[in-house]
Structure 1
Amino acid sequence: MNENLFIGSESLSALATLLGRPAVSQVFVLLDTNTARQCLPLLERQLPGGYTPIEIPAGEEYKTLATCEAVWNALTQARADRHAVLVNVGGGVVTDLGGFCAALYKRGIPFVQVPTTLLAQVDASVGGKTGVDFLGFKNQIGVFQEPLAVCIEPRFLQTLDPRQLKAGYAEVVKHWLIADAAAFAHNRTIGILVDDWTPLIRESVALKQRIVAQDPLERGPRKLLNFGHTIGHALESYLLTQPGREILHGEAVAAGMICEAWLSHHKGQLTDQELDQVETFLFSIFDKVQFVTLETEAIADFARQDKKNAGNVINCTLLEGIGQGVYDQPVTLEDIAAALRYYHRL
């Protein structure tokens, strides 16, 4: 678990200190087209003179090996050595892809995550997961690699539109549903009306760190963090193949949590009241993801590639009550299709 994790106003000054160390030979800053325009001005004075920006297109569709090749080419052309540091400034796409590029370049160079979306601040940038999508499947290629540091500056959230902010909130809710019933009970009366995100970010990151510390390589309890993701990833991946119907990762996870809460109820692990609480809360924040009933089997089929699977068994994380996740729960493609049909009818 990374000890160099900074949250709040001191995070960017901590970044400047890290990058100013004599051992750092060069500094590269990976940005997408959005963060280059909206976030770099806030960050720039913390960067050493002579840093090299690397800009990639914004969007999940660019989270590919082709984009990695462009990053590696830029590093190579600039003669980056193994003492160079790659600073990844962006949401989950940039932090996942940038960490992956750094982990493989010259068998590994240090990288720093500077997450700029709520989703990346509470989830994607923490825990050492890196990777890219492949053949339409989410995060199919990747490695576990801890960053040199994670610097979380909540002021970056002011650059987000409401849809992006809500998408990140889905991962916060996920943490409550798998491990913090009291937080869910408290916050479902408040919703997303948050004035200061810093305490919520600290709590959410601390919860994730506790789980990751037990199981860094996701062979056991860390699988709890995948609640909502087996069906969510399948839905997100399917809609990425449908031009004009793409949804944000957090929107897919919110839908996946409703589906997987229903599966938990279907298997007798969640009460009627608990299922209703999950559904009511999530629908109070997120719009319903649109698909037609005839698409449910095609969507479910994407779950065959879920990384938690063992052989032909689809392993899902479900709930044994609000605040109590349980991992390695076998489900069938028909179970997933039935959950999607349930969601469609709501």
Structure 2
Amino acid sequence: MSNMAAKGPVYYQEDGFLKINTYLKESKPSKVFILVDNNTHRECLPAFLQKIDTSENFEILEIEAGEINKNLETCTGVWNALSELDADRKSLIINVGGGVVTDLGGFVASIFKRGISYINVPTSLLAMVDASVGGKTGVDLGNLKNQIGVINHAEMVVIDPAFLATLPQAEMRSGLAEILKHALISSEAYWNKVTNLSELTLDDLDDIIKESVEIKSKVVTEDPQENGLRKTLNYGHTLGHAIESYFLTHPEKTTLLHGEAIAVGMILATYLSKELQEFPEEKLKEITSKILDIYERVEFIKEDIQQIIDLMKYDKKNSHGNINFVLLKDIGDSVIDCKVPNELIWNAFEYYKKT
């Protein structure tokens, strides 16, 4: 059994809450801290606490919701609170929230006193299928996403789709983008399944989440440090992250959710795949129209595109000054470390605007 599979196992629903209860009994943390944001404090924490049977006093730590607060300043606030509340090496942090809470909470735990244990309880679709699997923790540096962080696995991840009942529609769509990405890098069958959304029920969603988590876990297990295969999980993210960062820091622009930016990034990456890897044109058209059925088109002007291209050089996947793209030869057949000339990126934006 690989280290990854042994570390950070994923459990579902009731089974997961039982596992947390067992963990609390057996490992007897000195103190238990629950990290939430103002939304999950209100919407998710009460349901979570009902499932946890222990006589311990939990300390609830709350941060402000939103990507804009995913920074070192917020971490410092949490570290100070932990210190004041006498957290020690044997304390445990349980992160109950979306990707910002699980990324930041995992990072806070990994660094505090050189590392304390943490558990993730993702409450958004995005965090369930992406942020809480694979041990990536971190925060943003100014407008540059996830520049500060470490890979350090949670003791466990507990996924309960019941939390999704509290999620706004836009946040559900944002999470769906990562599921679409998992589909594009894994198989046509899974792509067809997840794009026939009109027929999806919550039960289907349970299965789709499990399948999506499995796709990601399998990749991460084979390549925990992102030397090769794990890079395929960045499909659509090289441009997508730059778009997200750009819109985040230009107050005159509407802020995009992560998945909304990644949706654009996937269309651009698929266009680049057609140009550079002979990805089939009819599949490019199909993918474009399916994504645009779900996500509203984003407007870009020339200056936006230039600045987005400039932002890409900060992407963590780059090395030696080269911007590295993941492209597809076909659905489920990816190529990593592709160099893409800037003029093709401009063409990709033209294609996005015109379709």
TM over 0.5: yes
CA distance in 2, matches of 1:235, 1:208: 23
Aligned pair 1:163/2:177, yes or no?
no
CA distance in 2, matches of 1:146, 1:92: 15
Question: Aligned residue for 2:13?
Answer: 8
Question: Aligned residue for 1:147?
Answer: 154
Higher helix share: 2
Question: Aligned residue for 2:197?
Answer: 190
Question: Aligned residue for 1:36?
Answer: 41
- Alignment match of 1:219 (pick from 220, 223, 227): 227
Moved more, 143-152 or 13-22: 13-22
Aligned length: 346
Question: Aligned residue for 1:308?
Answer: 317
- Paired residue secondary structure (1:155): helix
TM-score by length of 1: 0.96
Unaligned runs of at least 5 residues, structure 2: none
Question: Aligned residue for 1:75?
Answer: 82
**1:259-338 map, 5 Å:** 259-338=268-347
TM-score by length of 2: 0.94
Cα offsets for 1:25-47 (capped at 9, x unmatched): 11000000000000001011216
Q: Which amino acid aligns with 2:170?
A: R
CA distance in 2, matches of 1:144, 1:220: 16
Q: Which amino acid aligns with 1:80?
A: A
- Alignment match of 1:95 (pick from 102, 108, 112): 102
* Cα drift, residue 333 of structure 1: 3.6
Identity in percent: 44
* Cα drift, residue 340 of structure 1: 2.4
**1:115-154 map, 5 Å:** 115-154=122-161
User: Closer, same or farther in 2 for the Cα pair 1:317/1:157, shift >3 Å?
Assistant: same
* Cα drift, residue 285 of structure 1: 1.0
* Cα drift, residue 258 of structure 1: 0.4
CA distance in 1, matches of 2:32, 2:199: 36
* Cα drift, residue 295 of structure 1: 1.4
Question: Aligned residue for 1:200?
Answer: 208
- Paired residue secondary structure (1:111): strand
* Cα drift, residue 191 of structure 1: 5.0
CA distance in 1, matches of 2:196, 2:175: 18
Question: Aligned residue for 1:250?
Answer: 259
* Cα drift, residue 272 of structure 1: 0.9
User: Closer, same or farther in 2 for the Cα pair 1:96/1:3, shift >3 Å?
Assistant: closer
Root-mean-square deviation (Å): 1.4
* Cα drift, residue 241 of structure 1: 1.0
Q: Which amino acid aligns with 1:169?
A: L
Q: Which amino acid aligns with 1:200?
A: I
Unaligned runs of at least 5 residues, structure 1: none
Question: Aligned residue for 1:340?
Answer: 349
Question: Contact 2:194–2:208 (CA<8 Å) still a contact in 1?
Answer: no
